[in-house]
Amino acid sequence: MKLPAKAAIIEVLLRDGLQNEARPVPLPVKIDCLHKLPGAGLREIEIGAFVDPRRVPQMAGTRELAAEIQKRTFLTFPSKYAII
């Protein structure tokens, strides 16, 4: 089996990981995580989903996280996502 020359690592803690929490994580804690993840060398971070927080309470604050990630120019959104 031939392995690819490069692999992409996309961090999904703020999206998939938080959906496993019984209660929503406060926005300041999410922002703190967002600021710390690049320290691990991560540059592509999925921050959440633009869904109704009544359906998926853990995704509340995604728009605020999107605004925060745009301040950090060395981070990118995965190319298949866009901010609406």
Distance CA 18, CA 15 (A): 6
Q: Which residues does 2 contact at the CB level (< 8 Å), separation at least 6? A: none
Q: What tens digit of pLDDT does each residue of 29-75 get?
A: 999 988 888 888 887 888 888 788 888 888 888 888 888 877 765 55
Distance CA 63, CA 73 (A): 17
Higher per-residue confidence, 60 vs 77:
60
pLDDT at residue 2 greater than cutoff 80: yes
Neighbours of 47 (CB within 10 A): 28
The confidence score (pLDDT) of residue 75 equals 59
How far is C-alpha 5 from the geometric centre of its chain's CA atoms? 26
Rounded to two decimals, what is the model's pTM? 0.73
The confidence score (pLDDT) of residue 83 equals 43
